[in-house]
């Protein structure tokens, strides 16, 4: 028997699974990176916006099925737009309630406020939707078989392809937005110096609000894909996924958009390969250990740049 071929096939399957999961983490990590890049704060409520996006996607899909929308591509597109739009409103509200009143305060105050907002959103969803796991039937089954070694088939699912394509498309649009549009220039100016940006006539409050709105919409896209990929969600997924995405942002270099995606891919691969070859119970420990190692040996991350203190 060709055991080497089987081992290679198994590793290839885990690579496909890890890249798919890493794309989802990367999308969430971009939201952390955007907010940190502009106001220098970590939005710890961001993971819960991801969770709300997943719940909104499920509510939309169930509602569309109830009114007779049976075309899967149409239902998925409508659910994604609905989840992104409503989550964007949550992002705007978080900035107005938890961040803007404390922007001139000492640095710890917005952090505490964001953690409080995270706990509030988590418990709000638990009360409104219940604590039970919410299932969803597979909507995009099937795929292609890449290779078959000794009865072990390496499969690339249509859903996995869709997740990678949607993530790359969303990130391409967002990169264009940041690098080629007036809003992107305003965001980069705010990242350099908030006071000087305001003196130049740019509406800093509006720019920061739109940054939260865009980050929340990206988190909703990630929540939508998480729901389709795993087929079940609960009110607690935002905490675990949020901390892993934060780990990805730090690993890639907090403040770097390509770094956030690279960090997400690495965390997804580490978690998937650990689950495949070691104890699945410790996959979260493996992912979080990377955060500690990165902070000790590579504090600016893989693609981050050292902070220059303005005087």
How far from 246 is each of 57, 99, 156, 250, CA to CA, in Å?
A: 23, 18, 28, 6
Mean pLDDT of the chain: 88
Distance of CA 104 to the CA centre of its chain: 28
Distance CA 280, CA 283 (A): 5
- Position 3 scores a pLDDT of 60
Is it the case that residue 162 has pLDDT exceeding 70?
A: yes
Res 305: pLDDT: 64
Backbone angles phi, psi at 256, to 5 degrees: -105, 120
The 10s digit of each residue's pLDDT in 264-289 is 999 999 999 998 888 888 888 887 88
Distances (CA, A) of 251 to 61, 239, 289: 35, 18, 11
Give the span between the Cα atoms of 305 and 90, in whole angstroms: 31
Q: What is the pLDDT of residues 98-155, one digit of tens each?
A: 888 888 788 788 889 989 999 999 999 999 998 899 999 888 888 888 888 777 788 8
Using a pLDDT cut of 70, give the percent of the chain over it. 96
pLDDT (tens digit per residue) in 56-103: 999 999 999 999 888 899 999 999 999 999 999 999 999 999 888 888
Question: What's the length of the chain?
Answer: 311
Report residue 311's pLDDT band, with 50, 70 and 90 as the boundaries.
Answer: very low
Question: Mind giving me the DSSP string for 102-120?
Answer: GTTS-THHHHHHHHHHHHH
First to last CA, the chain: 68
Candidates 254, 255, 240, 253; CA nearest to 287 is: 240
To the question of pTM greater than 0.85 for the whole model, the response is yes
Which among 88, 60, 84 has a CA at the least distance from the CA of 221?
84
Locate 305 and state its tokens: 């740049």
Check the CA dihedral 218-172-244-107 and report its sign: negative
| 309: confidence class by pLDDT, cuts 50, 70, 90 | very low
Q: Taking Cα atoms as reference points, which of 55, 56, 28 lies closest to residue 43?
A: 28
CB atoms within 10 A of CB 127: 10
What percent of the chain is predicted at pLDDT more than 90? 47
Give the torsion through C-alpha atoms of 226, 295, 258, 233, to 10 deg.
10
Q: Where are the domains of the chain?
A: 3-234
8 A C-beta contact, residue 31 and residue 43: yes
């Amino acid at each position: 028997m060709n055991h080497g071929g089987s081992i290679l096939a198994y590793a290839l399957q885990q690579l496909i699974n890890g890249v798919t999961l890493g794309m989802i983490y990367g999308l969430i990590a971009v939201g952390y990176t955007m907010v940190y890049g502009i106001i220098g704060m970590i939005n710890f409520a961001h993971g819960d916006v991801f969770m709300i996006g997943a719940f909104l996607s499920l509510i939309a899909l169930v509602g569309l099925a109830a009114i007779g929308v049976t075309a899967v591509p149409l239902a998925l597109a409508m659910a994604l737009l609905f989840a992104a739009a409503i989550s964007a409103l949550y992002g705007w509200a978080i900035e107005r309630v938890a961040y803007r009143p404390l922007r001139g305060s000492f640095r710890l105050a917005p952090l505490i406020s964001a953690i409080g907002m995270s706990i509030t959103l988590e418990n709000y969803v638990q009360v409104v939707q219940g604590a039970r796991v919410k299932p969803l039937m597979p909507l995009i089954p099937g795929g292609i078989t890449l290779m078959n070694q000794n009865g072990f088939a390496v499969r690339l699912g249509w859903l996995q392809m869709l997740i990678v394509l949607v993530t790359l498309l969303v990130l391409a649009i967002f990169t264009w937005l940041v690098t080629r549009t007036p809003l992107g220039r305003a965001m980069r100016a705010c990242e350099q110096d908030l006071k000087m940006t305001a003196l130049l006539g740019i509406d800093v409050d509006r720019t920061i609000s739109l940054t939260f709105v865009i980050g929340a919409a990206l988190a909703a896209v990630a929540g939508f894909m998480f729901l389709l990929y795993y087929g079940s969600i609960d009110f607690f997924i935002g905490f675990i996924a949020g901390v892993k995405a934060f780990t990805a942002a730090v690993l890639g270099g907090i403040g770097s958009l390509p770094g956030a995606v690279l960090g997400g891919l690495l965390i997804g691969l580490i978690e998937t390969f650990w689950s495949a070859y070691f104890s699945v119970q410790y996959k979260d420990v493996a992912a979080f250990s990377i955060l500690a190692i990165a902070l000790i040996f590579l504090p600016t991350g893989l693609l981050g740049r050292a902070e220059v203190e303005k005087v």
